[in-house]
Amino acid sequence: MPNPGKVYLVGAGPGSLAYLTVSARQLLAEADVLVYDALVDLSLLQQVSPTCEQIHVGKRGGQPSTPQAEINRCLVEQCLQGKTVVRLKSGDPFIFGRTAAEIQALQAARCAFEIIPGISSALAAPLLAGIPLTDPVLSRGFGVFTVHDLDGLDWSALSRLETLVLLMGGRRLPEICQRLQQHGQRGEMPVAVIRWASQPQQQVWQGTLLSISQQTRGARLSPCIIVIGEVVRLREYLQPAVRAMQPLKYKTILVTRAASQSSRFTDLLTAQGAAVIDLPALEIRPPTSWEPMDNAIAALPSFDWLILTSANAVTFFLDRLLAAGGDLRSLAQLKIAVVGQKTATVLRQRGLTPDFIPPEYVADSLVAHFPAAGGLKGLRLLFPRVESGGRTVLVDEMAAQGATVVEVPAYESVCPAHLTAAGEAALAQNQADAISFASSKTVRHFAQLMQQAFGRDWLGRLDGVAIASIGPQTSQACEQQLGRVDIEAAEYTLEGLTQAIVEWADGSSA
């Protein structure tokens, strides 16, 4: 009997991953099919597996929308194929979400379904703007309405509410203000318009019924929440002072590191308040053949030094050593040199301590400061490294000084098949503030992927996007492939790159 499918009608909250429920996040990871709205933050798309089919059915005021009947048909069709379907809806599914129509369609087709609540933007947006919807003195309650049909609302009743929250009213703001005043509300009543609540591009306009239309003239307000009431005045006292604590708040950073390597850097950036979207330009795989590595492991006693220049080299070499039946004691007679604190940290996590770390975190420094008392002449060095495309300066210099360097492929780094959906959408919709590169190869692969996605004019997609580099070699690749570099780390580490991006955001970088 075929495995029955199921549809989960999931609330995405106001959009930011930070406000997604635990249940929603787990379901995204398990989904076979994701059917999502236009208002969902692109970073949420990264929570699904690479094999998950993504179907965009977004509705946005004033723009072409997917008919509700088509959305219903899609959900039923995917469910009947035995798939786990997540219907990701902005806010809460039961607050202006048209969920009833989808439930009726699923029931008629005898499809299993479950509803997962989310935080409504009607509640989250005012909070994130520093506006309390209730107050012991100013607001004993509030009302929430959509304003698709102005004539269908009782404006006399609305004008008497102490606090009014209106959704989907950006294009009708002047009419809303006019109708409230016509039904007795005073023109000096405070108003706030909150656009893209919880997102890096969040904007807040604050005025009165008389002034707010002029203040927002020419601005594109959708998607927005409108708050009307005396509580709006409390914003100047209650708005969180997060800028000093999170200098990257409201900045969206694209990270091009391999998906398996990006979590640490993502943590560093999000700790500074950034919204991070993964756009991996590297895919790390085992080498084409393990034979050279296995031969080197079998001959470990013949080597004097083990050279490790990346965390990947540490991981793949030690994993292969263990797979071959060896253990850390097999390295007892070897000295180990590493490039970079990250590489050293990974090595220590595996139970080994490096004998030498050059003062600068680049391969050139390893050669210049190598601690061998009698020089390199006569030494045998084992160098597990990327299979192809790496720089040859280390091997060339050591060989020139009389060392025998045995290079063995430890891993392969290749270009992914395409840009991630979230990363491509961020660039297509001008949502990225900066894009970071931690190696020359990521720059070259990124250029290849961009040309594939956007054609000959792909460089134009980077207008207004800062190019951030981890160090000189990567910066050189940025200049060659992208025509510029805007941010370069003073210390060639992920921590250094994070600090450089923070300084750029603060306007203090050179």
Provide the pLDDT confidence category of residue 59 given band limits of 50, 70 and 90.
Answer: low
Same domain, 387 and 437: no
Provide the pLDDT confidence category of residue 1 given band limits of 50, 70 and 90.
Answer: very low
Q: How far is CA 336 from CA 308, 332, 354, in A?
A: 8, 10, 5
Closest CA to 466 of 488, 487, 483, 446: 487
* pLDDT above 80 for 381: yes
Decide which of 213, 238, 263 is a domain's last residue.
238
pLDDT at residue 207, as a whole number: 93
pLDDT at residue 431, as a whole number: 87
Mean pLDDT of 405-429: 91
pLDDT digits (tens, 9 = 90+) for 452-481: 999 999 999 999 999 999 999 999 999 999
Q: Any catalytic annotation for residue 398?
A: no
* pLDDT above 60 for 25: yes
* 36 domain-assigned: yes
pLDDT digits (tens, 9 = 90+) for 200-243: 678 899 999 999 999 999 888 988 999 999 999 998 877 654 44
Number of domains in the chain: 4
Provide the pLDDT confidence category of residue 28 given band limits of 50, 70 and 90.
Answer: very high
Provide the pLDDT confidence category of residue 18 given band limits of 50, 70 and 90.
Answer: confident
* 347 domain-assigned: yes
pLDDT at residue 49, as a whole number: 87
Strand, coil or helix: what is 141? coil
Write the CATH number for 407. Answer: 3.40.50.10090
Mean pLDDT of 323-349: 89
One of 59, 294, 319, 364 is an active-site residue; which one?
59
Same domain, 396 and 429: no
pLDDT digits (tens, 9 = 90+) for 122-144: 999 999 888 999 999 999 999 99
Range of the domain at 161: 123-238
One of 83, 89, 92, 168 is an active-site residue; which one?
168
pLDDT at residue 63, as a whole number: 59
How far, in Å, CA of 148 to CA of 301, rounded? 77
| pTM value surpassing 0.75 | no
* 495 domain-assigned: yes
Provide the pLDDT confidence category of residue 23 given band limits of 50, 70 and 90.
Answer: very high
* 170 domain-assigned: yes
* pLDDT above 70 for 380: yes
Orientation angle between helical segments 341-349 and 311-323, nearest 10 degrees = 30
* 244 domain-assigned: no
* 246 domain-assigned: no
Same domain, 370 and 441: no
Same domain, 314 and 385: yes
Mean pLDDT of 477-498: 93
Q: Any catalytic annotation for residue 168?
A: yes
**What average pLDDT does the structure give for the chain?**
89
Closest CA to 335 of 374, 362, 308: 308
How far, in Å, CA of 316 to CA of 303, rounded? 19
* 311 domain-assigned: yes
Provide the pLDDT confidence category of residue 367 given band limits of 50, 70 and 90.
Answer: confident
Same domain, 274 and 348: no
Provide the pLDDT confidence category of residue 116 given band limits of 50, 70 and 90.
Answer: very high
Give the percent of the chain with pLDDT over 90: 61
* pLDDT above 80 for 61: no
Write the CATH number for 232. Answer: 3.30.950.10
Contact 212, 193 (CB under 8 A): yes
Same domain, 298 and 260: no
Decide which of 386, 413, 440 is a domain's last residue.
413
Token duo for residue 311: 């965390």
Q: CB-side exposure of 334: number of CA atoms within 13 Å?
A: 25
Q: Any catalytic annotation for residue 37?
A: yes
Q: How far is CA 408 from CA 273, 291, 327, 342, 405, in A?
A: 41, 9, 19, 21, 10
Same domain, 193 and 213: yes
Same domain, 112 and 13: yes
Range with the poorest average pLDDT among 31-40, 59-68, 75-84, 103-112: 59-68
How far, in Å, CA of 119 to CA of 432, rounded? 25
Beta carbons within 8 Å of 61's beta carbon, 6+ residues apart: 168, 170, 171, 222
pLDDT at residue 37, as a whole number: 85
Same domain, 97 and 15: yes
pLDDT at residue 250, as a whole number: 75
Same domain, 31 and 65: yes
Provide the pLDDT confidence category of residue 357 given band limits of 50, 70 and 90.
Answer: confident
Mean pLDDT of 422-444: 92
pLDDT at residue 471, as a whole number: 92
The number of residues making up the chain comes to: 510
pLDDT at residue 508, as a whole number: 46
pLDDT digits (tens, 9 = 90+) for 32-43: 999 998 766 677
Same domain, 420 and 274: yes
Range with the poorest average pLDDT among 393-397, 491-495, 504-508: 504-508
Range with the poorest average pLDDT among 70-74, 176-180, 268-272, 430-434: 268-272
Q: What is the CA angle 426-430-431, rounded to 5?
A: 55
Decide which of 393, 413, 433 is a domain's last residue.
413
Write the CATH number for 60. Answer: 3.40.1010.10
pLDDT digits (tens, 9 = 90+) for 151-160: 999 999 999 9
Q: How many CB atoms lie within 10 A of CB 504?
A: 21
pLDDT at residue 502, as a whole number: 93
* 1 domain-assigned: no
Same domain, 112 and 28: yes
